[in-house]
Amino acid sequence: MRSRKNGCEEEEEAMEGWRGGTAVTLARKFAAGLWRLQVSDIVAGGGREKQKNSLALTVRMPEIQLGAHTVRTHGVQLLRLHMHNWLILALIAVIEGVLNIIEPFHRFVGEDMMTDLKYPLKDNTIPFWAIPFVAVLLPLIIINIYYFIRRDVYDLHHATLGLLYSVLVTGVITDAIKDCVGRPRPDFFWRCFPDGKGVFDNVTKNVLCTGNKLVVKEGHKSFPSGHTSWSFAGLGFLALYMSGKVRAFDRKGHAAKLCIVFLPYLVAALVGVSLVDDYWHHWEDVFGGAIIGTVVATFFYLQFFPPPYDSDGWGPYAYFQVLADSQNGRQATNNNASCLTIQSLELESVYVESGHRRQLSRTNTHDASPVEE
């Protein structure tokens, strides 16, 4: 009787253990299934809470990455990646130098045309050396100041590269047109005849200049204005750059931000006006140079940065690409970790099931043995 009683107790214990094991297994399967649902929500973008967290992460990403990409950590890699751009930029600089050396086209300038070309020969109000400072050095200073604030080498590199391309390509276009057109400046008479005595061909009535050759050469480079085009290229790029940084078009009605945008254009316009006042250019020359500089600067700015009115207009395309790549890498890592966790839970549940099955098998074998009376 004791054996039968002990057998019943063992059977009850085995059944309780089996029930407990089954409960544990079901709990673990439920947890694994719930985990799968959570993972699928993350991957598929399901779940309002997950979407909110993902959106919040995306919004905070630019602020989290501050100082993560500096000249020391990513500068060399970035230069290697854009080495061909810098080599082409150097080639453009050489072409610009050649265009300044070659002789421009000497168009026909008759005696009857001199009436409109007798304006006094004056020095520039804004000297030639000041234009590179205003159009190139000043924007570079502002770009570097922003780098020390934000510590983003992608912004520094692309803004610098875009600025230099804007100025040099504008210079090549401007000087190529100058050399081909050969329009005389408003003070051409005094360049050609410093003594005030005009000399003309007896047959064609074309001018026979007696002045300094270099001065006469510059007298054939009126259209378009190089000073103006350079100013609008460099300062126009700066205006677009600053409009993105201050979020001038954030649709919040902060009209004062536009003053920062218009200030560089005002300086460039004053440079052009000074050239008309100094009789170095006709007004058409200044207008043409302003259009060339503005168009080229806009094209090169949009090559590296989103439009200023875009929500991401404050940073370069490359910066957001790096953020997207890093975020995708973290998601892949989290997904792999989730898969490993699910697999471990499934293996553990299988192990628990097999253990309880063995225990139940031993119990049934014990019950099948003869009962002692």
**What pLDDT score does 246 carry?**
87
pLDDT greater than 80 at residue 61: no
Task: Give, in degrees to the nearest 5, the angle at Cα 365 between 360 and 370.
Answer: 145
Average pLDDT over residues 309-314: 79
- The secondary structure of the chain, three-state, reads CHHHHHHHHHHHHHHHHHHHHHHHHHHHHHHHHHHHHHHHHHHHCCCHHHHHHHHHHHHHHHHHCCCCECHHHHHHHHHHHCHHHHHHHHHHHHHHHHHHHCCCCCCCCEHHHHHHHCCCCCCCCCCCCHHHHHHHHHHHHHHHHHHHHHCEHHHHHHHHHHHHHHHHHHHHHHHHHHHHHCCCCCCHHHHHCCCCCCCECCCCCEECCCCCHHHHHHHCCCCCCHHHHHHHHHHHHHHHHHHHHCCCCCCCCCCCHHHHHHHHHHHHHHHHHHHHHCCCCCHHHHHHHHHHHHHHHHHHHHHHCCCCCCCCCCCCHHHHHHHHHHHHHHHHHHHHHHHHHHHHHHHHHHHHHHHHHHHHHHHHHHHCCCCCC
pLDDT at res. 314: 78
Which tens digit of pLDDT belongs to each residue from 69-114? Answer: 565 555 577 778 879 999 999 999 999 999 999 999 999 998 888 8
What is the per-residue pLDDT across 221-279, written as a single tens digit (0 to 9) for each?
Answer: 999 999 999 999 999 999 999 998 888 888 888 888 898 899 999 999 999 999 999 99
Instruction: Compute the CA torsion angle 199, 104, 181, 170 (nearest 10 deg).
Output: -140
Q: Cα dist. 8→2, 122, 357, 359, 373 in Å?
A: 10, 121, 18, 15, 15
Buried b (16+ CB within 10 A) or exposed e, 126-148: eeeeebeebbbebbbeebeebbe
Average pLDDT of span 57-71: 48
- On whether the CB atoms of residues 233 and 162 are closer than 8 A, the answer is no
Domain layout of the chain by residue ranges: 2-62+325-367, 65-315
Mean of the per-residue pLDDT values of the chain: 78
Share of the chain above pLDDT 70, in %: 66
Over residues 335-370, the pLDDT tens digits come to: 555 555 555 555 555 455 555 555 555 555 555 444
Does the pLDDT at position 52 exceed 60?
A: no
pLDDT for 154 equals: 86
Q: Please say if the pLDDT value at position 45 is more than 60.
A: no
Contact by Cβ (8 Å): 275, 227: yes
Question: What is the reported pLDDT for 12?
Answer: 53
* Better pLDDT: 328 or 186: 186
pLDDT digits (tens, 9 = 90+) for 318-335: 777 777 766 665 555 555
Alpha-carbon distance values, 215 to 90, 98, 137, 185 (Å): 28, 18, 28, 11
Q: Which two tokens stand for residue 357?
A: 């099955």
In angstroms, rounded to a whole number, what is the distance separating the alpha carbons of residues 289 and 225?
A: 5
Q: Which active-site residues does the annotation give?
A: 227, 281
CB-based contacts of 266, cutoff 8 Å, min separation 6: none
pLDDT for position 250: 83
Residue 8 has pLDDT above 70, yes or no: no
Residue 9 has pLDDT above 70, yes or no: no
The residue-averaged pLDDT of 204-224 equals 93
Dist. CA 168–CA 86, nearest whole Å: 12
